[in-house]
Amino acid sequence: AEITINATQKKPISDVLMGVFFEDINYAADGGLYAELIQNNSFEYSPADKKGRDDSWNARSFWNGNFTVDTLNGIHSNNPHYAVLKNGSITNTGFDGIPVITGDKYDFSIFAKGAACTVKLVDANGTVLAQATIKPGKTWKKHSAVLKPSKTVADARLEISTSGEVAVDMVSLFPQKTFKGRKNGLRADLAQTVADLHPKFVRFPGGCVAHGDGIDNIYRWKNTVGPLENRKSDRNIWHYHQSMGLGYFEYFQFCEDIGAEPVPVLAAGVPCQNSSTGGAGQQFGIPMEHMDEYVQDVLDLIEYANGSASTKWGKVRAEAGHPKPFNLKYIGIGNEDLITDVFEERYTMIVEAVRKKYPDIIIIGTVGPFFQGTDYVEGWAIADKLQLPLVDEHYYEQPGWFINNQSFYDAYSRKATKVYLGEYASRGNTFYNALAEAIYLTGIERNGDVVSMASYAPLLAREGHTQWNPDLIYFNGTEVKPTVNYFVQKLYGENPGDEYLQSVVSLSENNDEAVKRVGISATTDTATEDVIIKLVNILPVTVTPAIELQDIKTKGNAVYTTLTDVPEGKTGRPVTIQLPVQEALKKALPPYSFTIIRIKTR
């Protein structure tokens, strides 16, 4: 293949192109990124959490033993249920067992009133690994202890026993080794795997979780901040419980910890079109008489993130330990909503209010659930009418679609609303899928002047608890299993460019099918002035490039990274070597491979 890369023909592209889409789906939050080890720690699980899937799911789920669940004078009206034990014990097995590591310290805490109780970590054979005694008084109070397990096991349980009567709530066990050592923090290995993607932004808390499956199920950020015992947990649209222990404060803090822009997405005053109330395909929304209050919630979020500690909501943030603003720049309004009058009225109200009070906030709109259908067209028409800076497009397609549509954004107007490709995936976790995504991303970089942001979806999935496949990173209690698709995202994340260099490719195998299966994107990272060449070969044969750099002075060796596997493979991992630049530019691209050549120019 003859390839010419010309540094005089360049255009600026987005400097926040590659990010992540975090949704609380597949146990991505509780039992996932959130490091709390006790499941149903506030006794708030209810049958409605698993409606239609598991009728036995209730406030007792994940607790065994002889206890009653009471609601008389609980800790807080948002958290009414608690357990009462009499002369006995209760146990909790966490999320498929509690993983503990010998030598590590675990922060145990509990709200309790009544008789003294003993807390033990016990392994599957009944051996006690650690224990502590708690001596509560007559009123609710938080008690703490540090547990140091004597053995490493993946499936311990927590046991609380008493020989009197004691009421307990908010039973918590946290590894002290959380990501960056944060209290109420994130699981270190999983958070690090996300951080290693070098995402420029993190979208949260979803997808469909954001708009919920009914008006009462719309995700309300105010329920997720402040002391844990006062947060209001809820069922999510994926039919399991969300404790909200991982709430807006924790999301913002994670973004800050990994240097990513926070991108919260809020419902546009309407829930999911497939909601049980209202009927599938119907659209209904928050009653107009309550919309002012809802709009205020959206404005308050911006104050929570960016206001000084002397503002009402900035103070709540400061009290949580973050007096400095989080510097929120983006806010998403709506997710895959049906584009109806009900939607448009509420969406317009929110957009106008945000724009008026916070003109610098970049609003990301939505273009409906059915890609390229009527909603999509109407969603774009509203975006034009409201002159939105960005809209969120979603698509899950077969790999062939991604290979065939690399020029998808070539014809998009550069003068109108830009695109956040908020959700995409090629329906599989084989290397062929990963290559289809890699080649499509060469087209996204080429269109990085109109596509401002892109995030693969969904991000996380706990094995045995998935509602959606494929995902980017699978995990269980002790292991993290990034997919081969993850490594494509990681290579893009590690090698961003903010200028696109024109490249001309001519293949000796010059037929249309072959041309579509060899992709190139050449960019410059203006911070380092490195030239980055991404090459994707989805042909079953070696392609030997002859890359000519025009008007580019090179320095030192090239950093040459290859990711290769068989099309159905799932285990390919990037391999990096150093090569003289001229050798790197001519090195054969293996069949089914993704290659990145990084060249210094100073």
SS (H, E, C) 127-175: CEEEEEEECCCCCCEEEEEEECCCCCEEEEEEEEEEEEEEEEEEEEEEE
Binding pattern to ligand AHR, positions 84-123, x when CB under 6 A? Answer: ----------------------------------------
| Residue whose CB is less far from ligand AHR, 358 or 396 | 396
Output the smallest distance, CB 21 to ligand AHR, in A.
Answer: 7
Tell me if 368 sits within 8 A of 375, measured CB to CB: yes
Tell me if 265 sits within 8 A of 210, measured CB to CB: yes
Question: For 19-138, where are the alpha helices, taking DSSP H only?
Answer: none
Task: Give the tokens for residue 374.
Answer: 């009527």
| Residue whose CB is less far from ligand AHR, 50 or 203 | 203
Q: How many residues line the site for ligand AHR (CB under 6 A)?
A: 12
Binding residues among 389-408 for ligand AHR as defined by CB under 6 A: 394
| Residue whose CB is less far from ligand AHR, 267 or 362 | 267
* 199 sits near ligand AHR (criterion: CB under 6 A): no
Tell me if 193 sits within 8 A of 473, measured CB to CB: yes
* Local structure of residue 414 (DSSP, 8 states): S
Output the smallest distance, CB 369 to ligand AHR, in A.
Answer: 7
SS (H, E, C) 182-235: CCCCEEHHHHHHHHCCCCCEEEECCCHHHHCCCHHHCCCHHHHCCCHHHCCCEE
- Alpha-carbon distance of 203 to 217, in angstroms, equals 19
The residue within the footprint of ligand AHR, chosen from 117, 208, 286, 305 (CB under 6 A), is 208
Task: Give the tokens for residue 128.
Answer: 């006690």
165 is catalytic: no
Q: What is the CA radius of gyration of the chain?
A: 26
Binding residues among 443-482 for ligand AHR as defined by CB under 6 A: 457-458, 468
- Alpha-carbon distance of 300 to 303, in angstroms, equals 5
Which string of b and e fits 103-118 if b means at least 16 CB within 10 Å?
eeebbbbbbbbbbebe
| Residue whose CB is less far from ligand AHR, 43 or 486 | 486
Residue of 324, 323, 330, 321 whose CA lies nearest to 302 = 330
Binding pattern to ligand AHR, positions 362-381, x when CB under 6 A? Answer: --------------------
* 428 sits near ligand AHR (criterion: CB under 6 A): no
Other CB atoms closer than 10 Å to residue 356's CB: what's the count?
A: 9
Tell me if 589 sits within 8 A of 514, measured CB to CB: no
* 423 sits near ligand AHR (criterion: CB under 6 A): yes
| Residue whose CB is less far from ligand AHR, 208 or 539 | 208
**Residue 416, by phi and psi: left (phi above 0), alpha (psi -120 to 50) or beta?**
beta
Spot the catalytic one: 303, 336, 423, 445.
Answer: 336
Residue of 271, 273, 274, 330 whose CA lies nearest to 306 = 330
Q: Which residue has its beta carbon closest to ligand AHR?
A: 207
Output the smallest distance, CB 204 to ligand AHR, in A.
Answer: 12
Binding residues among 12-31 for ligand AHR as defined by CB under 6 A: 23, 25
* 207 sits near ligand AHR (criterion: CB under 6 A): yes
| Residue whose CB is less far from ligand AHR, 131 or 340 | 340
| Residue whose CB is less far from ligand AHR, 207 or 307 | 207
Output the smallest distance, CB 20 to ligand AHR, in A.
Answer: 12
* 236 sits near ligand AHR (criterion: CB under 6 A): no
Task: Give the range of 90-98, 201-209, 259-267, 314-322 binding ligand AHR by CB under 6 A.
Answer: 201-209
* 426 sits near ligand AHR (criterion: CB under 6 A): no
* 493 sits near ligand AHR (criterion: CB under 6 A): no
Task: Give the range of 202-210, 427-435, 444-452, 476-484 binding ligand AHR by CB under 6 A.
Answer: 202-210
| Residue whose CB is less far from ligand AHR, 80 or 205 | 205
Binding residues among 328-367 for ligand AHR as defined by CB under 6 A: 335-336
Residue type, 223: N
Measured distance between the N- and C-terminal CA atoms of the chain, rounded to whole angstroms: 28
Would you tell me which residues interact with ligand AHR (CB under 6 A)? Answer: 23, 25, 206-208, 335-336, 394, 423, 457-458, 468
Residues labelled catalytic: 336
